[in-house]
Amino acid sequence: MWSYVIKRVFGAVPTVFSVITLCFIMLQLAPGGPFDGEKKIAPEVLANLEAKYHLNEPLHVQFGYYLNNLLHGDLGASFRYADWSVNQLVAQALPKSAAIGGTALLIAIVLGISLGVIAALRQNSIADYFVMFLGNFGHAVPSFVTGPILILFFALWMKVVPAGGWSYDDPNWSIVQFALLPVALLTIVNVATLGRVMRGSLIEVMNSNFIRTAKAKGLPMRVIIVRHALRPALLPVVTLLGPMAVSAIAQAVVTESIFSIPGLGRLLVTGAVNRDYTLVLGLVVLVAVFTVVFNLIVDIVYAMLDPRIRY
């Protein structure tokens, strides 16, 4: 088991390295330098500045410095926000994104799996149609259409939640009310996918030979489902969770823009609009590392769930 984990961890290193290299190359290709501004800086000052940030050295040396900083957890300084390092900006934004994304993912996992199981066991029932409808809906209607419609309904017409924002000491709304719509929006998208996959995989498992054997042995239905069917049926769902955790971050870009939440996604978009190269780059590297770690965890959980996978 441990040798498998270690092997997978080392397998992830080249991926992370490629991402960082790719990002670094793109940064070099981007037009404009960090000190190009409205007013011209004197050449001597510029030379000093470049020396301070090692910009006067050859590219591979710069890359070395960049890697070294990254290894020490330093994402560099922001191009646009003077006096702010990317680390500080991230530290401010990350908790909000993690709270919303984590809650939404948790609810989606519980809700999606339960709905999928019910739909699979009672095919063509109302629950089944609901899952199928939700699946198609989540697939076709983009979240940036659903989101504003949610705001229109619940915030502007019914006035039960705020239309957006994020504040712990707002006199009118509690933090739960701020979080309600964004979490709901993220949940809808994920429940749809999870429910559909769970339904399909459980139906397939329920038709397999070992379930027929279990039925023939006279086991009660509850035991068959909980002890025998659920575990293999969960495998495709677990596989899905890696990409889903990642897309939760990508989704967060849209969600946080819609609801004006100052999280990672908003940071990324404002960074992109302002052409704050180091900020965007730092965020992409960060997310890429998250991605690789998530996929790693999923692989390991997968190996633990499926006894056919030998390490």
Partner 1 sequence: MNTKTKNDQLVSTLSNISEVVEGRSPWADARRRFMKNKAAVASLVILILIGLIIVVGPYMLQHTHDATDWNALSLAPTLANGHYLGTDELGRDLLARTLQGGGITFQVGIVGTLVSVIIGVSWGAIAGFFGGKVDALMMRIVDVLYALPFMLFAILLMTFFGRDLYLMFVALGAISWLDMARIVRGQTLSLKSKEFVEAAHAIGVSQFAIIFRHIVPNLLGIVVVYATITIPGVIMTESVLSFLGLGVQEPNTSWGVLVQEGQKVMESQPWMLLVPGLFLSVTLYCANYVGDGLRDALDPKDR
- Comparing CB distances to partner 1, the nearer of 224 and 256 is 256
How far apart (Å, rounded) are the C-alpha atoms in residues 248 and 254?
A: 10
Q: Which of 152, 175, 223, 226 binds partner 1 (CB under 8 A)?
A: 152
Q: Which of 19, 90, 94, 301 binds partner 1 (CB under 8 A)?
A: 19
Q: 17, 90, 41, 85: which is closest to 292 by C-alpha?
A: 17
Handedness of CA 57, 59, 64, 65 (dihedral sign): positive
- Comparing CB distances to partner 1, the nearer of 32 and 102 is 32
The answer to whether residue 200 forms part of the interface with partner 1 (CB under 8 A) is no
The answer to whether residue 191 forms part of the interface with partner 1 (CB under 8 A) is no
Q: Which of 195, 277, 298, 299 binds partner 1 (CB under 8 A)?
A: 277
Total Cβ atoms within 10 A of residue 21: 13
The answer to whether residue 148 forms part of the interface with partner 1 (CB under 8 A) is yes
How far apart (Å, rounded) are the C-alpha atoms in residues 311 and 299?
A: 12
Q: What are phi and psi of 77, to 5 degrees?
A: -100, 150
Whole-number minimum distance, CB 207 to partner 1, in Å? 17
The answer to whether residue 136 forms part of the interface with partner 1 (CB under 8 A) is yes
The answer to whether residue 305 forms part of the interface with partner 1 (CB under 8 A) is no
Q: Which of 3, 14, 172, 217 binds partner 1 (CB under 8 A)?
A: 14
> 49: Cβ–Cβ under 8 A, 6 or more apart, which residues?
35, 41, 55
The residues facing 77 across adjacent strands are 85
How far apart (Å, rounded) are the C-alpha atoms in residues 262 and 100?
A: 12
Whole-number minimum distance, CB 144 to partner 1, in Å? 5
How far apart (Å, rounded) are the C-alpha atoms in residues 192 and 102?
A: 17
- Comparing CB distances to partner 1, the nearer of 157 and 168 is 157
- Comparing CB distances to partner 1, the nearer of 7 and 139 is 139
Structural contact between residues 174 and 113, judged by C-beta atoms closer than 8 angstroms: no
The answer to whether residue 59 forms part of the interface with partner 1 (CB under 8 A) is no
Q: 270, 142, 139: which is closest to 193 by C-alpha?
A: 139
Total interface residues for partner 1 by CB under 8 A? 46
| Crossing angle of helices 277-305 and 86-121, rounded to 10° | 40
For 212, the 3-state DSSP assignment is: helix
Q: Which of 104, 109, 179, 258 binds partner 1 (CB under 8 A)?
A: 258
Please give the residue ranges that form the binding site for partner 1 (CB under 8 A). 14-15, 18-19, 23, 26-27, 29-31, 136, 139-142, 144-145, 148-149, 151-152, 156, 246-247, 249-250, 253-254, 257-258, 268-269, 271-273, 275, 277, 280-281, 283-284, 287-288, 291-292, 295
